[in-house]
Amino acid sequence: MNQTIATAVEEGNLYEIEELVNGALASGEAPKELLEAMMAGLKACGDRFEKGEYFLPELMGAGDAFKAGMGVLAPKLRAGDQVSQGKVVLGTVHGDVHDIGKNLVGFMLSSAGFTVVDIGVDVSTEGFVRAVQEHEPQVLGMSALLTTTMLGMEDVIKALRKAGLRDKVKVLIGGGPVSKKYAEDIGADAYGNDAAQAVNLVKGLL
Amino acid sequence: MANPMVMMGKALLKHTLHLGELTGTERFMVSAVTLPDRASTFLAATNVEPELIDPRFDYVLLSQSMEANLELFGLVRQRVKADVVAVPYWLGLMCVGPAEFGTVFKIEKRRVPYPVDYPIKKREDIDRIKPPQQASGYLKMVFDINKEAQRRYPDAMIMVMMDGPWDLAMLLRGDRELPKDLRIHRDYTEAKDQATRDKIRRFGDPDIYPAIMELTTQLSVRIFQLAEENGLSLLGSAMVDQYAAKPIMSREDYFKYVHPYRVKAWTALKKKVGAGYQVTSPQESEQNMSDPVLNKGFGVFSNYIYPQTPEGVTLPEYDLPSLRLAKKYKQGYMYMVHGKYLRDATQAQLDATVQRICQMATGERTNLMVSIASVPPGASVEKANYVFQLVEKYGRY
């Protein structure tokens, strides 16, 4: 594995990752192996977040470095080089613009090899249903930071049922005011107490 | 409120000479310096969802009418049996002034107003925002509500709590961009050579972060000054930067890249405003005690953002060390019951939790203040009152 590239992603070296990936490709390294190195860098960053060594700016840096590296690498990859662990749609419910928790979950899932479709914040009930129809994820993750907005999660689950989609997607909820009891009450499949749990929870759902 | 120092003096005298039972406000004040008769209780009225009090009130009405806020505050004071019920306005983050600088808030009946667009999109936007000469809009409304609440309820504790430089910057730049600005600035500042610095510049502007923070430092100072100019006392006031903590940023980054701006604001305000730092562990509380800015003010010792169990209780193993630290530094410990726990816990669970924390505090003879972070939908004012009754039962020294 190209440790320099893994470290560049882990440390959020957005500024040099393109040069490094270009250099590695020029010297004949296989795109697939470079992708694995970048994924390893993301995972290492996520691990350091879990240990309390890294914080939001570091995660954002690693995410940006990964994206920049992929900008170079993507055209070189062949079908089958990128093996996704599964697809997850993530969004923050209507009335809530809190991005951070959702982004942390998205980062942790991406670093574990999941394809993450982030549909943003303040997403309407219809927006969640449309996203499930369009992207056909295995898991839908909903986030809320407010005790008032979390009530929208139940609306989404009801709307998924009405649209005949509930059996096709597992629903994971999280955020400060959400609890296991609330997840059970509204018929969600799982509840995550923090971003670090997300990967294992999603793996458990699949 | 009458002069807080005079009130504090009278309360201490009454308590020391056993001249009758302390009122709620007196108990709360005494608990800041010595042990009162029992642990005190506190609730920010604004943390009670309006519809739980009276369905006539919603956030649209409350954002338009000063009188609606005052009426609702009066109703909360009647219904809630805490020693102190404070903070008389339901304006969400509009209360700290960002709407007056261009942050756009969405206001819906059943959701606290929330920001949907931020005024600082590029460097030039920073120059367009100036410290205001006078209070206007929602900021003026907050000052007016505070003054009128003070007039109607002379024993109410009206404390000015406004955002510090970082939290205000989050509201003017947005919580997606500001952490990135910080990272680019940090990477640039700490780069070992010019070649690296040149590379960083290609990916972002390393100077936008300090420019934003300089601006929000000035704005924060000016907002507190305007509070005074509008007749409010800064005694007991607090400069809030609750997002300048883990997991948003490391403690090291806080001290290098946020704390200097807060010190600048604190100094400009003649050190009258508390500028605490939210801690995620008792160890951090102890570290803060060596800092002249962070070691004083309301809630220096608090479990507010400690890690929580999935049920919403902050880690029980932190309680005793936290209480002992508060005692060591002769300060009170603010124990927060989170809204999620209030909503989901059974009465028996609440009983066990409050009993545990109260008995720990009375056993250690540490000043304890118990507060509820929010009374959310699904909970009730009666459930909040049950917690306060439990403090009366178990919190006697």
Say if residue A69 is in the same domain as residue A98: no
Q: Which amino acid makes up residue B234? A: L
Contact check, Cβ <8 Å, A49/B339: no
**% of chain A beyond a pLDDT of 90:** 64
Q: Which amino acid makes up residue B79? A: R
Q: Is pLDDT at A46 greater than 60 in this prediction?
A: yes
The pLDDT, as a whole number, for residue B295 is 86
The mean pLDDT of B148-166, rounded to a whole number, is: 91
pLDDT, one tens digit per residue, over B308-323 is 888 899 999 999 999 9
Q: Is pLDDT at B340 greater than 60 in this prediction?
A: yes
Q: Which two structure tokens, joined as six digits, stand for A92? A: 């923050």
**Best mutation site among B60, B180, B209 for testing chain A: the one with the most A CBs within 10 Å?**
B180
* Residue B103 and residue B119 in contact, taking contact as beta carbons nearer than 8 Å: yes
Q: Is pLDDT at A72 greater than 90 in this prediction?
A: yes
The whole domain housing A152 covers: 87-205
The pLDDT, as a whole number, for residue B298 is 63
**Best mutation site among A11, A15, A18, A155 for testing chain B: the one with the most B CBs within 10 Å?**
A15
CATH number, domain containing residue A180? 3.40.50.280
Say if residue A114 is in the same domain as residue A67: no
Q: Cis link prior to A177 (omega < 30° from 0)?
A: no
Residues 272-331 (B) with a CB less than 8 A from some CB of A: 308-312
pLDDT, one tens digit per residue, over B29-77 is 888 788 999 999 999 999 999 999 999 999 999 999 999 999 999 999 9
CATH, domain range B91-232+253-271: 3.20.20.210
Q: What is the ipTM of this complex?
A: 0.82
The pLDDT, as a whole number, for residue B299 is 67
Q: Which amino acid makes up residue B145? A: I
With beta carbons under 8 A apart, name residues in chain B contacting A118: none
Specify if A108 maps to a domain: yes
pLDDT, one tens digit per residue, over B352-378 is 999 999 999 999 999 999 999 999 988
* Residue A4 and residue A17 in contact, taking contact as beta carbons nearer than 8 Å: no
Contact check, Cβ <8 Å, A56/B343: no
The pLDDT, as a whole number, for residue B19 is 84
pLDDT, one tens digit per residue, over B265-302 is 999 999 999 998 889 999 999 999 999 899 876 667 99
With beta carbons under 8 A apart, name residues in chain B contacting A177: 339-340, 343, 376
With beta carbons under 8 A apart, name residues in chain A contacting B176: 99, 103
Say if residue A106 is in the same domain as residue A167: yes
The pLDDT, as a whole number, for residue B3 is 66
Alpha helix ranges (H) inside B230-346 = 251-253, 259-268, 282-288, 319-328, 339-344
With beta carbons under 8 A apart, name residues in chain A contacting B59: none
The tokens 């406004």 sit on which residue? B162
The partner residues of A23 in beta bridges, in order of sequence, read none
Average model confidence (pLDDT) for chain A?
Answer: 91
CATH number, domain containing residue A48? 1.10.1240.10
A62 to chain B, any CB pair closer than 8 A? The answer is no
Say if residue A143 is in the same domain as residue A182: yes
The mean pLDDT of B110-122, rounded to a whole number, is: 93
Contact check, Cβ <8 Å, A55/B253: yes
Compute, in degrees rounded to 10, the torsion defined by CA atoms B372, B64, B108, A181: 10
The tokens 């009258």 sit on which residue? B272
CA distances from B82 to A151, B141, B216 (A): 28, 26, 35
Choosing from A42, A76, A110, the residue where a domain stops is A76
The mean pLDDT of A82-98, rounded to a whole number, is: 88
Q: Which amino acid makes up residue B340? A: K
For chain B, strand residue ranges (E) read: 40-44, 84-86, 104-108, 111-117, 161-163, 238-240, 301-302, 333-337, 368-372
β-strand pairing of B40-44 with B84-86: parallel
With beta carbons under 8 A apart, name residues in chain B contacting A15: 187, 196, 199-200, 202-203
Say if residue A201 is in the same domain as residue A147: yes
Specify if A12 maps to a domain: yes
Domain boundaries, chain B: 1-36, 91-232+253-271
In this prediction, residue B158 has a pLDDT band, given cuts at 50, 70 and 90, of confident
**% of chain B beyond a pLDDT of 70:** 98
* Residue B33 and residue B356 in contact, taking contact as beta carbons nearer than 8 Å: no
The pLDDT, as a whole number, for residue B281 is 92
Say if residue A69 is in the same domain as residue A91: no
Say if residue A194 is in the same domain as residue A109: yes
Tell me which of A46 and B256 has the higher pLDDT.
Answer: B256
Say if residue A91 is in the same domain as residue A72: no
Query: H or E stretch including A14?
Result: none
Specify if A61 maps to a domain: yes
DSSP state of B289: T
**% of chain A beyond a pLDDT of 70:** 100
Average model confidence (pLDDT) for chain B?
Answer: 93
Q: Is pLDDT at A202 greater than 80 in this prediction?
A: yes
The tokens 């205001």 sit on which residue? B132
**Best mutation site among A121, A173, A179 for testing chain B: the one with the most B CBs within 10 Å?**
A179
Say if residue A123 is in the same domain as residue A41: no
Distance linking the first and last C-alpha atoms of chain B = 27
What whole-number distance in Å separates Cα of residue B298 and Cα of residue B238?
A: 7
The pLDDT, as a whole number, for residue B132 is 97
What whole-number distance in Å separates Cα of residue B207 and Cα of residue B184?
A: 9
Our separate counts of H helices and E strands in chain B read 18, 9
Q: Is pLDDT at A88 greater than 90 in this prediction?
A: yes
The tokens 């009374």 sit on which residue? B375
With beta carbons under 8 A apart, name residues in chain B contacting A99: 175-176
pLDDT, one tens digit per residue, over B226-271 is 999 999 988 889 999 999 998 889 999 999 999 999 999 999 999 9
Q: Is pLDDT at B152 greater than 90 in this prediction?
A: yes
Angle between helices B178-190 and A56-73 (to 10 degrees): 80
Contact check, Cβ <8 Å, B308/A193: yes
With beta carbons under 8 A apart, name residues in chain A contacting B115: 97
The tokens 């920049």 sit on which residue? A68
Q: Is pLDDT at B1 greater than 70 in this prediction?
A: no
What whole-number distance in Å separates Cα of residue A96 and Cα of residue A92?
A: 6
Say if residue A69 is in the same domain as residue A97: no
Instruction: Please tell me the total count of domains within chain A.
Output: 2
Q: Which amino acid makes up residue B66? A: M
**% of chain B beyond a pLDDT of 90:** 80
CA distances from B339 to A190, B344, B387 (A): 21, 9, 12
What whole-number distance in Å separates Cα of residue A121 and Cα of residue A90?
A: 9
Q: Is pLDDT at B2 greater than 60 in this prediction?
A: no
Choosing from A76, A100, A116, the residue where a domain stops is A76
Query: What DSSP string describes B204-258?
Result: --TTHHHHHHHHHHHHHHHHHHHHHHTT---TT-EEE-TTSSTTTS-HHHIIIII
The pLDDT, as a whole number, for residue B315 is 94
Specify if A19 maps to a domain: yes
pLDDT, one tens digit per residue, over A100-119 is 888 889 988 988 889 999 99
A50 to chain B, any CB pair closer than 8 A? The answer is no
Question: Which of B203, B312, B376 is opposite residue A148, by nearest beta carbon?
Answer: B376
Query: What DSSP string describes A125-139?
Result: HHHHHHHHHHH--SE
